[in-house]
Structure 1
Protein backbone atom coordinates (compact mmCIF):
# COMPACT_ATOMS: atom_id res chain seq x y z
CA UNK A 1 0.00 0.00 0.00
CA UNK A 2 1.47 3.40 -0.93
CA UNK A 3 2.54 5.54 1.98
CA UNK A 4 2.73 2.76 4.57
CA UNK A 5 5.90 1.33 6.08
CA UNK A 6 5.55 -2.01 7.80
CA UNK A 7 7.59 -0.94 10.83
CA UNK A 8 6.52 2.72 11.15
CA UNK A 9 2.82 2.78 10.28
CA UNK A 10 1.37 5.39 7.92
CA UNK A 11 3.70 8.04 6.56
CA UNK A 12 2.66 11.69 6.44
CA UNK A 13 1.29 12.71 3.05
CA UNK A 14 4.30 14.93 2.22
CA UNK A 15 6.60 11.91 2.47
CA UNK A 16 4.75 9.91 -0.18
CA UNK A 17 6.36 9.70 -3.58
CA UNK A 18 4.98 12.43 -5.85
CA UNK A 19 3.42 9.87 -8.15
CA UNK A 20 1.30 8.57 -5.23
CA UNK A 21 0.20 12.03 -4.08
CA UNK A 22 -1.04 13.00 -7.57
CA UNK A 23 -2.25 9.81 -9.25
CA UNK A 24 -3.58 9.98 -12.79
CA UNK A 25 -7.36 9.89 -12.99
CA UNK A 26 -9.39 8.82 -16.01
CA UNK A 27 -6.36 8.88 -18.29
CA UNK A 28 -5.30 12.39 -17.26
CA UNK A 29 -1.88 13.60 -16.19
CA UNK A 30 -0.92 17.10 -14.95
CA UNK A 31 2.41 18.89 -15.00
CA UNK A 32 3.40 22.30 -13.63
CA UNK A 33 6.36 24.54 -14.44
CA UNK A 34 6.43 27.12 -11.64
CA UNK A 35 9.28 29.16 -13.14
CA UNK A 36 7.19 29.88 -16.26
CA UNK A 37 3.83 29.77 -14.41
CA UNK A 38 2.40 27.17 -16.82
CA UNK A 39 0.28 24.04 -16.35
CA UNK A 40 -0.28 21.29 -18.89
CA UNK A 41 -2.98 18.62 -18.81
CA UNK A 42 -2.59 15.40 -20.80
CA UNK A 43 -5.83 13.51 -21.48
CA UNK A 44 -7.16 10.88 -23.83
CA UNK A 45 -8.56 12.60 -26.91
CA UNK A 46 -10.88 9.63 -27.42
CA UNK A 47 -13.21 8.08 -24.83
CA UNK A 48 -11.64 4.63 -25.19
CA UNK A 49 -9.09 3.54 -22.60
CA UNK A 50 -6.72 2.43 -25.37
CA UNK A 51 -6.84 5.74 -27.27
CA UNK A 52 -4.02 6.43 -29.69
CA UNK A 53 -4.51 10.21 -29.64
CA UNK A 54 -3.68 12.45 -26.66
CA UNK A 55 -4.79 16.03 -26.09
CA UNK A 56 -2.38 18.43 -24.37
CA UNK A 57 -3.85 21.61 -22.95
CA UNK A 58 -1.38 24.23 -21.68
CA UNK A 59 -2.57 27.21 -19.64
CA UNK A 60 -0.97 30.01 -17.68
CA UNK A 61 -1.41 29.76 -13.90
CA UNK A 62 -2.61 33.37 -13.77
CA UNK A 63 -4.23 35.78 -16.16
CA UNK A 64 -6.75 35.28 -18.90
CA UNK A 65 -4.51 34.15 -21.73
CA UNK A 66 -6.24 31.52 -23.88
CA UNK A 67 -5.12 27.89 -23.43
CA UNK A 68 -3.09 26.18 -26.16
CA UNK A 69 -4.59 22.82 -27.12
CA UNK A 70 -2.70 20.26 -29.20
CA UNK A 71 -3.33 16.66 -30.21
CA UNK A 72 -0.61 14.13 -30.77
CA UNK A 73 -0.12 10.41 -31.10
CA UNK A 74 0.23 8.53 -27.83
CA UNK A 75 3.89 7.54 -28.36
CA UNK A 76 4.80 11.18 -29.13
CA UNK A 77 2.91 12.40 -26.04
CA UNK A 78 4.83 9.93 -23.86
CA UNK A 79 8.14 11.22 -25.25
CA UNK A 80 7.14 14.84 -24.58
CA UNK A 81 5.90 13.96 -21.03
CA UNK A 82 9.26 12.34 -20.25
CA UNK A 83 11.33 15.12 -21.82
CA UNK A 84 9.58 18.07 -20.17
CA UNK A 85 9.89 16.48 -16.73
CA UNK A 86 13.65 16.49 -17.30
CA UNK A 87 13.45 20.25 -17.99
CA UNK A 88 11.77 21.19 -14.71
CA UNK A 89 8.09 20.31 -15.08
CA UNK A 90 6.66 18.55 -11.98
CA UNK A 91 3.55 16.41 -11.46
CA UNK A 92 0.70 18.32 -9.81
CA UNK A 93 -2.95 18.03 -8.83
CA UNK A 94 -5.66 18.77 -11.41
CA UNK A 95 -6.25 22.52 -11.69
CA UNK A 96 -9.39 22.79 -13.80
Structure 2
Protein backbone atom coordinates (compact mmCIF):
# COMPACT_ATOMS: atom_id res chain seq x y z
CA UNK A 1 0.00 0.00 0.00
CA UNK A 2 0.99 3.64 -0.38
CA UNK A 3 1.81 4.06 3.30
CA UNK A 4 4.57 1.42 3.14
CA UNK A 5 7.44 3.73 2.33
CA UNK A 6 10.65 2.25 0.93
CA UNK A 7 14.13 3.21 1.96
CA UNK A 8 15.94 5.58 -0.38
CA UNK A 9 18.23 2.69 -1.35
CA UNK A 10 15.19 0.91 -2.85
CA UNK A 11 15.42 3.27 -5.86
CA UNK A 12 11.71 3.48 -6.67
CA UNK A 13 12.29 5.88 -9.55
CA UNK A 14 12.70 4.11 -12.88
CA UNK A 15 15.27 4.74 -15.56
CA UNK A 16 14.12 7.42 -17.94
CA UNK A 17 12.80 9.75 -15.27
CA UNK A 18 9.69 8.03 -13.96
CA UNK A 19 9.15 8.20 -10.23
CA UNK A 20 6.70 8.75 -7.39
CA UNK A 21 6.74 11.09 -4.39
CA UNK A 22 4.44 10.95 -1.36
CA UNK A 23 3.56 13.44 1.36
CA UNK A 24 1.44 11.68 3.99
CA UNK A 25 0.77 14.87 5.97
CA UNK A 26 -0.79 16.45 2.86
CA UNK A 27 -2.34 13.11 1.85
CA UNK A 28 -0.94 13.48 -1.67
CA UNK A 29 0.98 11.34 -4.11
CA UNK A 30 2.69 12.66 -7.26
CA UNK A 31 3.79 10.71 -10.33
CA UNK A 32 6.51 12.01 -12.63
CA UNK A 33 6.47 10.26 -16.00
CA UNK A 34 8.41 11.05 -19.17
CA UNK A 35 6.15 12.56 -21.79
CA UNK A 36 6.61 12.86 -25.49
CA UNK A 37 9.56 14.82 -26.79
CA UNK A 38 9.27 17.46 -29.47
CA UNK A 39 11.94 18.81 -31.76
CA UNK A 40 12.56 21.61 -29.26
CA UNK A 41 11.84 20.19 -25.81
CA UNK A 42 11.52 17.16 -23.55
CA UNK A 43 8.36 16.98 -21.46
CA UNK A 44 7.41 15.26 -18.21
CA UNK A 45 3.81 14.42 -17.31
CA UNK A 46 2.98 15.11 -13.66
CA UNK A 47 -0.10 13.62 -12.02
CA UNK A 48 -1.20 14.49 -8.48
CA UNK A 49 -3.40 12.12 -6.50
CA UNK A 50 -5.29 12.52 -3.21
CA UNK A 51 -4.77 9.72 -0.71
CA UNK A 52 -7.39 8.38 1.66
CA UNK A 53 -6.54 5.35 3.81
CA UNK A 54 -8.23 2.21 2.58
CA UNK A 55 -9.09 3.73 -0.82
CA UNK A 56 -7.35 3.85 -4.19
CA UNK A 57 -5.58 7.16 -4.93
CA UNK A 58 -7.85 9.69 -6.66
CA UNK A 59 -6.48 11.82 -9.51
CA UNK A 60 -6.61 15.54 -8.69
CA UNK A 61 -4.59 17.14 -11.47
CA UNK A 62 -2.48 16.29 -14.47
CA UNK A 63 -0.13 18.56 -16.36
CA UNK A 64 3.15 18.56 -18.19
CA UNK A 65 6.36 20.43 -17.54
CA UNK A 66 9.61 20.90 -19.34
CA UNK A 67 12.06 18.23 -18.20
CA UNK A 68 14.41 20.69 -16.47
CA UNK A 69 11.51 22.29 -14.58
CA UNK A 70 10.28 18.84 -13.51
CA UNK A 71 13.75 17.97 -12.20
CA UNK A 72 13.78 21.18 -10.17
CA UNK A 73 10.26 20.50 -8.86
CA UNK A 74 11.30 16.94 -7.83
CA UNK A 75 14.36 18.25 -5.97
CA UNK A 76 12.38 21.00 -4.25
CA UNK A 77 9.68 18.56 -3.18
CA UNK A 78 12.30 16.23 -1.66
CA UNK A 79 13.70 19.17 0.32
CA UNK A 80 10.26 20.15 1.62
CA UNK A 81 9.03 16.90 3.15
CA UNK A 82 8.13 14.67 0.21
CA UNK A 83 9.70 11.21 0.05
CA UNK A 84 10.25 8.71 -2.73
CA UNK A 85 7.87 5.78 -2.95
CA UNK A 86 6.74 3.00 -5.26
CA UNK A 87 3.66 3.29 -7.42
CA UNK A 88 0.46 2.42 -5.57
CA UNK A 89 -1.08 -1.01 -6.07
CA UNK A 90 -4.41 -0.78 -7.81
TM-score by length of 2: 0.72
1:77 lines up with 2:70 in the alignment: yes
Which residue in the other structure is 1:90 paired with?
83
**Residue segments in structure 1 that go unaligned for 5+ positions in a row:** 1-15
Cα distance change on mapping 1:61 and 1:78 into 2, 3 Å: same
Please report how far the alpha carbon of residue 25 of structure 1 lies from its aligned counterpart in structure 2 after TM superposition.
2.5
**Structure 1 residues 66 and 30, CA gap change in structure 2 (3 angstroms):** closer
What do you get for the CA RMSD once the two structures are aligned? 2.4
Q: Find 1:22's aligned residue among 11, 15, 20.
A: 11
- Equivalent of residue 45 in structure 1, options 35, 51, 75: 35
Task: Count the aligned residue pairs.
Answer: 77
**Whole-Å Cα distance in 1 between the matches of residues 36 and 76 of structure 2?**
24
Larger Rg: 1
Runs of 4+ residues deviating >6 angstroms: none
The structure that is helix-richer by fraction is 1
Are positions 1:57 and 2:47 aligned together? yes
Q: CA deviation at 1:23?
A: 2.9
Q: Please give the TM-score of this superposition, normalised by the length of structure 1.
A: 0.68
Q: Relative contact order, CA 8 A, sep 6+: which one is greater?
A: 2
